Every structure is written in C-alpha cells, then in structure tokens.
Amino acid sequence: MKKSNYGNIQKFIEKLKAEGYEDIKLIDTTDGMFVGHREAVFLGLYGSTLLIGRK
C-alpha cells in the first residue's frame, strides 16, 4: 500500500485498534498466495495487500 494513495497505514491500524478491532493484519497478496511477484508486477498489483481484522 503506497503512502501517497492510502496515507499512513500503520496510523490507520492504530486507530482501528483504538476503536476495538483485534487481530489486524496486512497480508501481502503478491507473495504467491494469490498471485506471484512477476504476475503482480505485470498486472499492476505490485504492493497489493489485504487489511483484515475483527471487532
């Protein structure tokens, strides 16, 4: 996640934790779980992540 597109993601995660969210994780989707690194670059998904958590 680019800071220029999404701001400071770590600060956002801290805000979510303060609101009661737990187990917040950033999952890299370009490490082979969803797509490989080369495929991610080809598709313009370089740096793609999922933000998950539960309340």
Dig out the tokens for 6 from the structure: 């999404």
Q: What is the mean pLDDT of residues 11-27?
A: 91
35-54 pLDDT, tens digit each: 887 887 788 777 788 889 99
Other Cβ atoms closer than 10 A to 10: 10
Kindly report whether the global pTM for this prediction surpasses the value 0.85.
Answer: no
Please state, in angstroms and as integers, the Cα–Cα distance from residue 32 to each residue in 25, 38, 52, 54, following that order: 17, 10, 18, 24
Other Cβ atoms closer than 10 A to 40: 19
